Amino acid sequence: MDSIKAKSFQESIQYQYEDISLLETALTHSSYANEHQLKKSQNNERLEFLGDAVLELISSDVLFKTYPDKLEGVLSKTRASLVCESALAYCARKLQLGDYLLLGKGEDMTGGRERDSILSDALEAVIGSIYLDGGLEPARKFIMAFVLNDMKNTRLFYDCKTILQENVQSWSKETLTYELVDTSGPEHNRTFVMQIRLGNQILGKGSGRTKQAAGQNAAYESLIELRSKGLFKGEDEDTCI
């Protein structure tokens, strides 16, 4: 990882590493490590394992203290919605994390920089690297600034298609329709754009490397739009938010 990118990323996350090698490891995918014959410990999988635990601790602590009247099952369901793969990938995209990843050529050519699993794992690896470099408090600050900073909307990523369907059914008899409106890029690295229509009204659009991802992003954007218009009905009482 060159020094310019390292500096740019540290500025974007508002954290300065004492040991920059931890950041480089956090951003090194196994495909890159294998391609360059690095040691197995020189990819981000171990840091992702650690970061996952740190994220679970911090998110649990935040929910436990913020919602003292909620029971364990409700807290667990809410935490799951906040730290699911798609939600973490969304947070990673807002940080443009994919631009900084070290990927193998094949993984890069097939859209790895936008793949939910790669982005979410890398975000957890960054959390793990910050924890090792600076301790729990810097990791907490990062999580609060870039993962739990918009809990009300981020939790909608958890099964957002079902949430959208159930909410629309509560106030409309029209049928939701997912439509593919655009496809671009070479065959090995396509970008799909889906839109969601309710009768004659377009609720939202979303793009992704697969039709499923594009549909999910379109559902999320539709939920945000409905909420902004006061049409998001029937908030789930079994969650905190």
CATH number at residue 173: 3.30.160.20
Q: What is the length of the chain?
A: 241
Burial category of 129 from C-beta neighbours within 10 Å (exposed 0-12, middle 13-18, buried 19 and up):
buried
Q: Are residue 20 and residue 138 in the same domain, yes or no?
A: yes
Predicted confidence at residue 43, as pLDDT, reads 96
Domain that holds residue 113: 3-150
Residue 70, CB-side half-sphere exposure with 13 Å CA sphere: 21
- Taking residue 16's Cβ as centre, other Cβ atoms within 10 Å add up to 12
| CA-to-CA separations, 30 to 5, 25, 116, in angstroms, rounded | 20, 10, 15
On whether residue 240 sits in a domain, the answer given is no
Structural domain ending residue among the three candidates 102, 118, 150: 150
* Residues ≥6 apart with Cβ < 8 Å to 130: 15, 17, 138, 139, 142
Predicted confidence at residue 235, as pLDDT, reads 55
Q: Are residue 64 and residue 172 in the same domain, yes or no?
A: no
The one-letter amino acid at 57: L
| CA-to-CA separations, 41 to 20, 98, 155, in angstroms, rounded | 16, 21, 33
On whether residue 179 sits in a domain, the answer given is yes
Q: Measuring CA to CA, which residue among 147, 117, 133 is closest to residue 45?
A: 117
Q: Are residue 28 and residue 141 in the same domain, yes or no?
A: yes
Predicted confidence at residue 239, as pLDDT, reads 63
CATH of the domain at 138: 1.10.1520.10
Q: Are residue 74 and residue 173 in the same domain, yes or no?
A: no
Q: Are residue 95 and residue 117 in the same domain, yes or no?
A: yes
> 14 is written with which tokens?
């508002």
Structural domain ending residue among the three candidates 150, 171, 206: 150
Predicted confidence at residue 241, as pLDDT, reads 65
On whether residue 241 sits in a domain, the answer given is no
Q: Are residue 29 and residue 116 in the same domain, yes or no?
A: yes
Clarify whether 174 is annotated catalytic: no
Task: Write down the catalytic residue from 24, 124, 133, 221.
Answer: 124
On whether residue 73 sits in a domain, the answer given is yes
Predicted confidence at residue 234, as pLDDT, reads 52
* CB 44 within 8 Å of CB 97: no
> pLDDT tens string for the chain (241 positions)?
778 899 999 999 999 999 999 999 999 999 999 999 999 889 999 999 999 999 999 999 999 999 999 999 999 989 998 999 989 998 999 999 999 999 999 999 888 998 889 999 999 999 999 999 999 999 999 999 999 998 888 777 778 888 899 899 988 999 999 999 999 988 877 889 999 999 999 999 999 888 988 998 999 899 989 988 888 865 555 666 6
Predicted confidence at residue 236, as pLDDT, reads 55
* CB 41 within 8 Å of CB 28: no
Structural domain ending residue among the three candidates 130, 150, 170: 150
Q: Are residue 75 and residue 189 in the same domain, yes or no?
A: no
CA atoms of 92 and 106, how far apart (whole Å):
21
Task: Write down the catalytic residue from 52, 114, 116, 133.
Answer: 52
Burial category of 198 from C-beta neighbours within 10 Å (exposed 0-12, middle 13-18, buried 19 and up):
middle
Number of domains forming the structure of the chain: 2
Q: Are residue 145 and residue 30 in the same domain, yes or no?
A: yes
Burial 158-184 (b: 16+ CB within 10 A, else e): bebbebbeebbeeeeeeebeeeeeeee
Q: Are residue 138 and residue 21 in the same domain, yes or no?
A: yes
| CA-to-CA separations, 226 to 18, 82, 134, 186, 241, in angstroms, rounded | 44, 20, 40, 34, 16
On whether residue 234 sits in a domain, the answer given is no
CA atoms of 84 and 52, how far apart (whole Å):
11
On whether residue 235 sits in a domain, the answer given is no
On whether residue 142 sits in a domain, the answer given is yes
Predicted confidence at residue 202, as pLDDT, reads 94
Q: Are residue 35 and residue 125 in the same domain, yes or no?
A: yes
Clarify whether 2 is annotated catalytic: no
Predicted confidence at residue 18, as pLDDT, reads 97
Q: Are residue 141 and residue 213 in the same domain, yes or no?
A: no
Q: Are residue 217 and residue 104 in the same domain, yes or no?
A: no
